[in-house]
Amino acid sequence: MPPPPPPPRNQPSRNPIKGMRNSKPGAEGKPPMPKWAIWAIVAAVAVMAFGSQFVSTSTGEKLTYTEFLEQVRNGDVQSVIINNATNTISGKLANGGKFTTTGSVQLSDADEQLLKQMGVNYDYKTPQANWLTSLLPVILPFLFVIGFFVWMQRRAMGQAGSIMSVGRSKAKAYSADKPSTTFADVAGYDGVKLEIKEVVDFLRMPERFKEIGARVPKGVLLVGPPGTGKTLFARAIAGEAGVGFLSVTGSDFMEMFVGVGASRVRDLFQTARKMGKAIIFIDEIDSIGRKRGAGLGGGNDEREQTLNQLLSEMDGFETSEGIVILAATNRPDILDPALLRPGRFDRQIVVPLPEFEERLAILKVHSKDKRMGPDVDLDTMAKATPGMSGADLANLVNEAALFAVRRGSANIERIDFENARDRVVMGARRESLVLNAEEKRATAIHEGGHAVLATVLPNSDPLHKVTILPRGMALGVTWTLPEERHTYSREYFEDLICKAMGGRVAEKIVYNHLNSGAANDLEQATSIARRMVREWGMSDKVGPMAWSGQQQVFLGEDLMTSGREYSDSTAQLLDEEVARILREQEQRAHEILTKHRKGLELVAEKLIEEETIDGPTVGKLVQAGLEPAPSDAIA
């Protein structure tokens, strides 16, 4: 029996919250009256009531008072009405026309005698004021007082309503007919897509899984470093699932009021149950899912109460069929074990840093809407960016576009990608910092020591570029391109420490003194040596034992029990082994650079001359330093 077809994508939204608001019959299709319509009605009533007081309604020919008297003497005026309020004189002419004029407050005896003599009917008229106008000075203060109290009451009700709704979920609902991201917009990660599509297919075609007795995971946890696209996958699921999708972040559950987090979790799941089939996405779940019993605070801690409610809703006494929980975090080690057990987050999907093929696909996605030059090779750029996340690659393409705009170019060219990669990896160039001749030579010797060791050490990563131009916080940078590998040998780490010691040793060989420029190199070398001894078992004296660093309280470990797991003698042995590794690699760097002293000076001179040189150039200079002088060859 074939499975039923999936539901149509463009179906109307079934948001239960919206459905409850329009529950009255006939409510649909009748939008509420806009607020501006009420004010328009009030303005129209005011114009009709008071407009006649401010707009003149007099019509007829405009005459001056002198012309009016002249018309009276000529017998052209038939009747006159004198307005006592506005001192306006209006009337009819003998030919049937009308006129208006403005006179004095009261007609003089001579003018009044002239009107009587010429047989003109005249009369004084005082118009009655509008009753609304008369009541306005009395009513207006009361209207202002009443309006103020109504505004205060509504403000108080709004605050009370916000307090009452503080326990409601802040999740954002995404309907199936809303345009969103799909799996086609996510480059690479075919394995991750396959695992996530099983959950999407279950929600769209549950009968296919129920027929064989399969049970879909209730919770899916996306785990990966920052910037690898965990939230992007969630948006793609929202566009592919065809069911209700509720998105919320872990911090949305936390509030200053006690019990609000648990209340919001309950409201979130109630909203999802009303949708029938739904996906709840909780971003940064480590905000509320950290281990309980951290040693600070008791069982009434607000975060623990929120986590307890989440655990109960996911797999408690009341089941939630048809609801899948999707969460994302980059700190799975701090999550509570009860949250990760089967029945809750059954499946953990790792979203790692992209490999070469995935980086190439990501670069193509971010470059498809940009004007690329003919010399841009995304394949080479993908090989030159190991360890970069999807967000880093997107930033790389954008930086290349910005460099192209600064150059005034119409297309993004290869030089723009090179400059963008230098900026992202080594930092922005500091144009305002100018080194004097002595500092410039010291920096060239320092970076030359790193470059020579990166060239001659057998297990070192290939040297890409070395520069003495100040970038970021460094006066110079030596950049190697790490090869894509997943396991590292002890010889690789020893060469890495030796290379880090190269700058300090080169200055000591040439100048016979030390300065503070090797601080970051020593920090990196010490960190690697400590992990070799304490975590990776790469010390013969310590043996196959590993001790991680001291656990922090926020990781969920008890404050009283977290401490050092080894004795003082073991601690002394660990310190001695770390110091031994550092001193051995420093001595090794001294021997190699002494042997390649000529090559070191050639690289330093080239750096002073050109400020930036690439790896192949350094290799040629180091090789030239090993060749015998012409006089020695003749002898």
Q: Looking at the annotation, which residues are catalytic?
A: 447
H/E segment holding residue 279: strand 278-283
- Please report, to the nearest 10 degrees, the dihedral formed by the alpha carbons of residues 284, 285, 286, 290 taken in order: 170
Dig out the tokens for 302 from the structure. Answer: 């607000």
Instruction: Name the percent of the chain in helix, strand, coil, to the closest 5.
Output: 50, 10, 35
Instruction: Compute and round to an integer the Cα radius of gyration of the chain.
Output: 42
CA distance 575 to 206: 59
Mapped onto helix, strand or coil, the DSSP state of residue 485 is: coil
Longest alpha-carbon distance in the chain:
150
Q: Is 532 left (phi over 0), alpha (psi -120 to 50) or beta?
A: alpha
Mapped onto helix, strand or coil, the DSSP state of residue 476 is: coil
Q: Give the full edge-to-edge strand order of the sheet including 98-102.
A: 61-62, 98-102, 88-93, 77-83, 121-125
Dig out the tokens for 203 from the structure. Answer: 């929600």
CA distance 233 to 191: 12
Q: Which of 351, 349, 231 is nearest to 282 (CA)?
A: 231
Dig out the tokens for 337 from the structure. Answer: 């074990």
Q: Which residues contact 277 (CB under 8 A, 6 or more apart)?
A: 203, 206, 243, 244, 322, 323
Dig out the tokens for 236 from the structure. Answer: 């793609």
Q: Which residues contact 84 (CB under 8 A, 6 or more apart)?
A: 124, 125, 126
Dig out the tokens for 325 from the structure. Answer: 């929980």
Residue 588: count of CB within 10 angstroms of its CB: 18
